[in-house]
């Protein structure tokens, strides 16, 4: 080792403020970020410090992570193809099952083309940055997920934000644009923080009127809305009018990976030029097999989205009755805005002590600098578990 | 829509919007730094920009917003966009 560790400038200095904020949070109990689950027992139960808790913040909307069909598909894939692909889709990382998964996605969504990525984050990063190039315009909802913003940063197009869920504001901004260049409007289906949904039918109309393409990230809404969980666009009757639909395998699909499907065949050309597609290894055989099996369950198994919505309504009503004001109407994501960050942290700790895990969401990850307790419902939650969650909220002091 | 797009009017509008969101007592002058002096963070600046976009009927690309450091940077950017159309 060196005698002295003198550097020109302290590279960690920039994290000082966030470090202080984390310490203030930690002084109230456990650090709610990056918490460790010692053991996962089921889609709705885990062990933390030797104690069994109910999970109410997992994005495991359909509870398929423990489905026998999904688990055995993943195990079988490992047995037949090994644990990893050890390469990029363009080189040695495309196995038969990656292609089969893309074919399944085309069938599921009635799309002309489908591309599978290693994560949903990379799907948005890849598709957005590659579709919109120099001279084009990206119009994104102001409350977009970080990976949509990052996709825009990686793109050579100009990015313009419009007010959250406002087709009127989008129309105004589209009307201001010059005639040259393509226009790509990017919105989400179900918003991950506040649990509100986009008026996709209205966005379709505005995009059409202004000659723009519409890109919808349905990371949270696939599995939850629409016929057989095809998503919000399907539920609103506009699936065939969406130009690009992206999503993730990390939530309802009980795996990891991401995808983009399109009614245009041109999407396939992206494979040759998109950096987040080219320069990373492809999803492992077990991940791909699990995603396919989960999609199979969604298409042919019992309709889990109905059970999910029934539980969502139960939880929403229970929390409202207990005096809380959910940010949005009943849905798979239920967000409760709290007065400030420290109250939210204190309540988060109380809930954990009562055996309930929820998500804590604080700025800048949340819109309008809100501090939230965020719950996500699973079709695997029993009615009794929902009651137990409500009861823990009622006991908050 | 706003009629006057001279620098002075823009500065007044910018100062008004910024002072409503500032987290410090720092005076708002052209060379005031929005982040360092007013402690307005990058997420808040987006909301401020939206308010000003509505006022001037312009769209300020996200890429341009990240180049803005001082009050004058913001005033100049708005002036540039508002005068084009
Ligand atoms: C709206 C949205 N898009 C994309 C993603 C990224 O998905 P993944 O977890 O597969 O990277 C997420 C999940 O965090 C999300 O909430």
Q: Work out the number of other CB atoms within 10 angstroms of the CB of residue B84.
A: 8
Q: What is the per-residue DSSP string for B8-59?
A: HHHHHHHHHHHHHH-SS-----TT-BTTTTT---HHHHHHHHHHHHHHHT--
Name which of A180-184, A199-203, A376-380, B61-65 the model is least confident about: B61-65
pLDDT in tens, A81-133: 999 999 999 999 999 999 999 999 999 999 999 999 999 999 999 999 999 99
Blockwise average pLDDT, block size 10, chain B, 85 residues: 71 94 92 92 86 91 89 93 69
- Res A73: pLDDT: 98
Q: Work out the number of other CB atoms within 10 angstroms of the CB of residue A228.
A: 17
Instruction: Indicate if ipTM > 0.95.
Output: no
User: Exposed e or buried b for every residue in A148-180, given b needs 16+ CB within 10 A?
Assistant: bbbbbebbebbbbbbbbbbbebbbbbbeebeee
Q: What is the per-residue DSSP string for A46-96?
A: EEETTEEEEE-----TT-GGG-HHHHHHHHHHHHHH-S---SBTTTT---H
Q: Is the pLDDT of residue A354 over 80?
A: yes
Q: What is the mean pLDDT of residues A332-360?
A: 95
Q: What is the mean pLDDT of residues A288-301?
A: 97
Ligand 1 lined by A276 (C-beta under 6 Å): no
Cβ contact A289:A101 at 8 Å: no
Cβ partners under 8 Å of residue A257, min gap 6 = A116, A117, A118, A119, A120, A248, A249, A250, A283, A287, A288, A291
Nearest CA in chain B to A162: B50
Dihedral Cα A86, A91, A94, A96, nearest 10 deg: -110
β A333-338/A371-376 pair status: antiparallel
If residue A337 lies in a helix (H) or strand (E), which one and from where to where? strand A333-338
Residue scoring higher pLDDT (B66 or A176): A176
Cβ partners under 8 Å of residue B50, min gap 6 = A142, A161, A163
Share of chain A above pLDDT 70, in %: 99
- Res A28: pLDDT: 79
- Res B84: pLDDT: 52
- Res A14: pLDDT: 87
β A113-117/A258-262 pair status: antiparallel
| Distance of alpha carbon A13 from alpha carbon A31, whole angstroms | 21
Q: What is the mean pLDDT of residues A271-291?
A: 96
Q: What is the mean pLDDT of residues A21-50?
A: 87
- Residue A339 C-alpha, separation from nearest chain B C-alpha, in angstroms: 18
The pTM (predicted TM-score) of the whole model is 0.94
Ligand 1 lined by A258 (C-beta under 6 Å): yes
Q: Where are the alpha helices (DSSP H) in chain A?
A: 16-26, 68-81, 96-109, 120-131, 146-154, 167-176, 200-209, 232-235, 275-278, 285-300, 304-321, 341-353, 383-394
Give the closest of A163, A173, A363 to B43, CB-based. Answer: A363
A7 in the Ramachandran plot: left (φ > 0), alpha (ψ -120 to 50) or beta? Answer: beta
Chain A contacts in chain B segment 2-41 (CB below 8 A) = 41
Q: Phi, psi (5° rounding) for residue A287?
A: -65, -45
**Candidate from A58, A65, A147 with most ligand 1 atoms within 8 A of CB, to mutate:** A147
User: Distance from the CA of B34 to the center of ligand 1, in angstroms?
Assistant: 31
- Res A392: pLDDT: 98
**Cβ-defined contact of B63 to A158 (cutoff 8 Å):** yes
**Cβ-defined contact of A161 to B44 (cutoff 8 Å):** no
Residue scoring higher pLDDT (A285 or A366): A285
- Res A1: pLDDT: 64
| Distance of alpha carbon A384 from alpha carbon A112, whole angstroms | 43
Q: Which two tokens stand for residue A368?
A: 């309008």
Q: Taking all residues of chain A, what is their mean pLDDT, rounded to a whole number?
A: 95
* Confidence at A197, pLDDT banded by 50, 70, 90: very high
- Res B1: pLDDT: 46
Residue scoring higher pLDDT (B41 or A281): A281
Q: What is the mean pLDDT of residues A378-389?
A: 98
Q: Is the pLDDT of residue A5 over 80?
A: no
Q: Phi, psi (5° rounding) for residue A161?
A: -95, 145
pLDDT in tens, A154-173: 999 999 999 999 999 999 99
User: Distance from the CA of A248 to the center of ligand 1, in angstroms?
Assistant: 6
């Amino acid at each position: 080792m060196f005698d002295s560790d003198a550097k020109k400038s302290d590279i960690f200095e920039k994290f000082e403020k966030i470090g202080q904020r984390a310490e203030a949070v930690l002084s109230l109990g456990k650090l709610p970020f990056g918490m460790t689950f010692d053991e996962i027992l089921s889609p709705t139960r885990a062990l933390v410090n030797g104690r069994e808790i109910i999970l109410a913040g997992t994005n495991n909307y359909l509870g398929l992570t423990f489905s026998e069909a999904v688990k055995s598909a993943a195990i079988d894939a490992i047995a037949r193809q090994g644990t990893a692909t050890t390469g990029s889709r363009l080189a040695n990382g495309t196995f038969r099952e990656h292609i089969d998964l893309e074919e399944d996605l085309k069938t599921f969504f009635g799309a002309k083309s489908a591309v599978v990525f290693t994560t949903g984050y990379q799907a948005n990063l890849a598709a957005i940055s590659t579709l919109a190039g120099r001279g084009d315009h990206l119009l994104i909802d102001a409350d977009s997920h970080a990976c949509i913003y990052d996709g825009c940063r990686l793109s050579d197009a100009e990015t313009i934000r419009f007010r959250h869920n406002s087709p009127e504001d989008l129309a105004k901004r589209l009307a201001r644009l010059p005639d040259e260049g393509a226009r790509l409007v990017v919105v989400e289906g179900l918003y991950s923080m506040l649990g509100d949904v986009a008026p996709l039918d209205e966005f379709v109309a505005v995009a059409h009127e202004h000659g723009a393409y519409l890109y919808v990230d349905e990371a949270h809404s696939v599995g939850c809305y629409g016929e057989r969980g095809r998503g919000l666009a399907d539920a609103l009757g506009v699936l065939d009018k969406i130009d690009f639909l992206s999503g993730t395998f990390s939530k309802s699909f009980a795996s990891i990976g991401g995808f983009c499907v399109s009614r245009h065949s041109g999407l396939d050309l992206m494979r040759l030029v998109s950096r987040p597609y080219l320069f990373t290894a492809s999803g492992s055989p077990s991940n791909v097999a699990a995603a396919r099996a989960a999609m199979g369950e969604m298409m042919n198994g019992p309709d889990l989205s109905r059970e999910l919505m029934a539980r969502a309504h139960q939880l929403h009503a229970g929390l409202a009755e207990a005096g809380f004001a959910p940010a949005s109407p009943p849905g798979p994501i239920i967000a409760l805005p709290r007065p400030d960050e420290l109250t939210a942290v204190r309540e988060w700790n109380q809930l954990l002590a009562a055996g309930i895990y929820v998500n804590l969401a604080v700025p800048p990850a949340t819109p309008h600098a809100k501090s939230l307790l965020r719950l996500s419902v699973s079709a695997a939650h029993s009615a009794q578990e929902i009651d137990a969650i409500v009861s823990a909220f009622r006991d908050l002091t | 829509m706003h009629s006057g797009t001279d620098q002075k009017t823009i500065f007044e509008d910018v100062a008004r919007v910024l002072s409503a969101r500032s987290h410090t007592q720092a005076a708002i002058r052209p060379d005031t730094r929005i982040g360092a002096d007013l402690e307005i963070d990058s997420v808040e600046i987006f909301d401020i920009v939206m308010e000003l976009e509505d006022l001037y009927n312009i769209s300020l690309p996200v890429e341009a917003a990240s180049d803005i450091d001082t009050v004058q940077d913001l005033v100049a950017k708005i002036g540039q966009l508002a005068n084009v159309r």
